[in-house]
Amino acid sequence: MKIAVVGTGYVGLVSGVCFSEFGFSVICIDNNVSKIEDLKKGVVPIYENELDKLMLKNMNAGRLSFTSDIAEGVRDADIVFIAVGTPSKTDGSADLSYVYGAVDELAPHMNKNAILVIKSTVPVGTTRAVKQFLQDNGFDIEVAFNPEFLREGAAIEDFMRPDRIILGIESKKAEDALKRAYRPLFVLSIPIVFTGLETAELSKYAANAFLAMKITFINEVANLCENCGADVKEVAYAIGLDKRIGEQFLQVGPGYGGSCFPKDTSALNDFSKNFGVSMPLVEETIKSNDARRIKMIQKIMGVCDNDVKNKNISILGVTFKANTDDMRDSPSICIVNHLLKNGAKIKIYDPSFSEQAKKIFKDAEWSNNAYDNCNGADVVVILTDWAEFRAINLADLRRRVKNPLLVDLRSIYTVNEAKASGFVYCSVGRPFIEG
C-alpha cells in the first residue's frame, strides 16, 4: 500500500513517519519547498522527541520520501491524507482554504482507485462538502475523515498507542483501505470506531472542547481554593480517583494554549450556531480561559505591589506547555508582554530554546539554564511545567535571587517544598506562603 500525506506540520509529518514505520511506502508532500529540501536532508522542522530518529530510519529503509510536487506525490498513492492547517479566522471560524486548495490541486492527479482522507480538524459537514466539490468538478473520489488525537511532545506515542482510531467512512472501499492502513493498531486490539462523516468530525471537536472545559473547570476550582483555604492539587487528586472523572487534564495552570484547544473551541462555538444550536459551556470555557491570563497578570502584579518597573523578573518556561517549542497561543505571550510594557527587566529560560519565543520577546534577555536565569532576580515566575523545573534545587535558587519571591503558575512544587525553600511562594489554587 502506498500512502501520501499532504502537509508536513505537527500532524502530517508525524503521521507520515509513523505510517512508514508501519511498513508502508509513504510520501510526504508540502508546498513549502525549503521545508521539503530540509526534510530530504533529514532535518526535522518541529520539536518532537525521537521524530528525527524514526524519520531517518524509514528514509534509509526507502519507505519514506518527500516532495513539493503534489501531482508526483499523489499519483501512485492508494490513500491520500490531507493534514494541512485549519487556523482560526478573525471571527473564530475555521479557515478551510488550505484544505480546499490541496483538494483542488491533487484531485486531477489521484489514481482512480485511491481514496482521499481528511485528517485536518474540520467543521462538521466539511468532508461531505469536499466530496460534493469533487463531484461538481467531475472527480468521482471516495472521501473519508480520520481525526488525529496527537499531543505535541507525545505525538509518536499517541499515534502508535492511541486510545482509539475514529474513521468517518461511507463505503466498503474506504473501510477496507483504512483498515489496511491501521492494521498494525487493529492487531493490537486498539478500538477502531467506524462511523459516519459528521459523527467523526464532531467527535474530534467534542473531545478537544471537553478537555479544554475540564482544564478550565479545575482552574476555576483553583480560584475558589485560593479564597477558601483548600488545596487544588489535593482536590484534583481526590476527584480524579473517581473513574468517571479521571485524573488527567486536572493540572492547574495559566490556562490552555497551543494550536488546537483555542482554535477548536472557537470553531465549535462558531459552527454549532450554523446548525442553530448554541453551546454556552463551550462559550464560557473560551471566556474563562481568556480571562485567566488577565488573572495571572494580576497575580504577578499583586505580589510586586503593582509596580514591576525596573524589577528583574526571571521567567522559567514560555512555551504553551512542556516538551514542545511551540508558542502558538501560549499564555506567556500576553503575560510577559504586559510585564515588559510595564518596565520590567525580563530574563527568560526555556528548555526548548524556542526560536519562536525569541522572535516574540525581542526585549527580553535569555539564559541557558534556570539557575543563571535567576541570578539577581526580584521575582521568579514559572509559566510552563517542564520536568526539569520540578527538579530544581530551590536552596540554590534562593541563594541566587536578590529577592526570594517565587510565583509558580503551574503549582509544580508541594506546599512543604515551598515552605522549606525560604521563598515567599505564590502559586495557583493554594494558600500564599509567606516564606
Is residue 253 within the footprint of ligand UDX (CB under 6 A)?
yes
User: Closer CB to ligand UDX, residue 74 or residue 412?
Assistant: 412
* Piece in contact with ligand UDX (CB under 6 A), picked from 69-77, 127-135, 244-252, 289-297: 244-252
Going edge to edge, which strands form the sheet with 79-82?
A: 64-67, 25-29, 2-6, 79-82, 115-118, 142-145, 165-168, 192-195
User: Closer CB to ligand UDX, residue 404 or residue 429?
Assistant: 429
User: Closer CB to ligand UDX, residue 152 or residue 350?
Assistant: 152
3-state secondary structure of 427: strand
Question: What does the radius of gyration of the chain's CA atoms come to, in whole angstroms?
Answer: 23
Task: Give 128's contacts (C-beta < 8 A, 6+ positions apart).
Answer: 143, 197, 198
Rounded-to-integer distance, Cα 175 and Cα 360, Å:
45
Strands 379-382 and 405-408: parallel
* Piece in contact with ligand UDX (CB under 6 A), picked from 18-26, 249-257, 273-281, 296-304: 249-257
Question: 225 an active-site residue?
Answer: no
What single DSSP character describes residue 107?
Answer: G
* The dihedral sign for the CA sequence 258, 28, 23, 325: negative
**Exactly one of 28, 225, 260, 304 is catalytic; which is it?**
260
Is residue 321 within the footprint of ligand UDX (CB under 6 A)?
yes
User: Closer CB to ligand UDX, residue 215 or residue 297?
Assistant: 215
Instruction: State which of positions 169-228 bind ligand UDX (CB under 6 A).
Output: 208, 211, 215
Minimum Å distance from CB 314 to ligand UDX? 20
User: Closer CB to ligand UDX, residue 73 or residue 147?
Assistant: 147
Is residue 24 within the footprint of ligand UDX (CB under 6 A)?
no
Q: Where are the beta strands (DSSP E) in 106-181?
A: 115-118, 142-145, 165-168
Instruction: Count CA within 13 A, CB hemisphere, residue 198.
Output: 5
Q: Which of 22, 145, 261, 425 binds ligand UDX (CB under 6 A)?
A: 261
Angle between helix 197-228 and 261-274 (nearest 10) = 120
Is residue 407 within the footprint of ligand UDX (CB under 6 A)?
no
Is residue 266 within the footprint of ligand UDX (CB under 6 A)?
no
Check if the beta carbon of residue 374 is closer than 8 Å to that of residue 331. no
Q: Which of 145, 320, 361, 386 binds ligand UDX (CB under 6 A)?
A: 320
Rounded-to-integer distance, Cα 32 and Cα 23, Å:
26
User: Closer CB to ligand UDX, residue 168 or residue 257?
Assistant: 257
Is residue 149 within the footprint of ligand UDX (CB under 6 A)?
yes
Is residue 68 within the footprint of ligand UDX (CB under 6 A)?
no
Q: Which of 29, 111, 117, 119 is nearest to 78 (CA)?
A: 111
Is residue 152 within the footprint of ligand UDX (CB under 6 A)?
yes
Minimum Å distance from CB 158 to ligand UDX? 7
Catalytic residues: 260
Give me the residues that bind ligand UDX (CB under 6 A), please: 148-152, 208, 211, 215, 249-251, 253, 256-258, 260-261, 320-321
